[in-house]
Structure 1
């Protein structure tokens, strides 16, 4: 089977490529290698996954002509679409980057899938879509109509766009709502990376909402396990499904949406303490109010994903933090 993985130089994308290659699959990976964060880290990830079963193409998914030509040339069986402009806070600074990548880029990928009749499209959504939802755990049956950031709004839009293509063109699509992914080779704009870096350098870390926040931290190994399992669970049409009685994460079209998280939220202060314990350093802390676009708690109900694939997260927060800190200290010689 021939795969396309978009965002192949990214945190999740590079890990997915590595897993697929290990199973013997051939993967074409694309990424535009933008400078949203340190490009050298992206290049390092690519060097790490370089092998004969992987071909990398430097390509921006917002380039309609280039994406179309790639699909026509390669004729993929399965597409794992992870490329996106990430980050909640950055969407306040540069909203047009989100429109270009997350909306135009997503449409270009959908069009590519339509033109070659791809067997299955798996794409990245986000726990951010739950927005103002205060009911926990977050279920795929919950309303996601009130996002609190543009980033979240684009991810909700991705799900709607995918459904329309599933309905109109019979393209099987599966959206994955990722919950706070962390681990080795992670993104520098995320809390584990920021906290570890600042603590080691003696800088003060910002603690939002005065520490009263909860996140469903999910280790990259568990995320990759879930993605790869979903590949073989191809949605089919369900003629008995109705809007009035059906789960919004399924459809009469070949369409599905799943939560992919650990299912056990950790308080922000406990997460900070886990990093402090692993480093053997107490952090200097600046407690501050909730920041724009932030949510109080994320908590995944992964029942649907378990029923469909047998997905069960295995990496504890202690194991995950220890692995991340060890990688960080080795990679940055700290």
Structure 2
């Protein structure tokens, strides 16, 4: 599952205060960056405690304190995911948001990314601000990019379990296994092969996402002991699980295995966190069968279904410097 963007808090054109505003340093962060955790979603806090190689975090500091953050993840040779961007209210309309976005894109280019994508809900309160910022940065216009479904784990598990086709498969667990997230060396090789398929475009898989995954609510899909897919989840809040990514070998698309995997995860979530704990999952338009199934079968039982928008950009040619908002050039340095 891809992540929904936190709205940018910097306007598109308000840079008229730069001449009299204190300098703001834009820096690539490394190590422990939790001082910047107030500028992203709760579910991303763990990314900042110890920044992994797949994470890009660019921070803004003014008067010796953090005032903004651009955060995202990337994997070699794939599209980088821009997860969140925020600027302290008192520092907005100084161009800091634009500087953060540009520095983040430069770092994605330096790491070999061909492009970046930012996703967010159509009802996001900060949508207008982010779209103004992305337009100023020269990103593409927003386009519909899938559906986000939010519901109660217990109710969703119960309803899915009554579907005739799924119920018949659940009655024969010897045909497949929804297994714990224990990856052997052979499993890792199989996962790499799965990710090389066109159907897995944009996915990162259970190896790269291990640092943010909630193992109790994730599952490997095995067929005769071989990994053929997965459902990966992260814990967004105390009683809220976000199902980030799901993959199944296309050979088994008509088998009901994926719906069975979601049933397994929802049932486990209901058992561990309660029937009314929140389950959220995303499906994108490159998987039209899942989109159609979501609209037909999941929407009626969900608390909410929301269209997701995406803004994309090719990355700029990287440079070794970034600008503070007084016009001075600073080397990117770790914070």
Q: Same fold (TM over 0.5)?
A: no
- TM-score, reference length from structure 2: 0.28
* Higher RCO (C-alpha under 8 Å, 6+ residues apart): 2
- TM-score, reference length from structure 1: 0.28
The structure that is helix-richer by fraction is 1
The structure that is strand-richer by fraction is 2
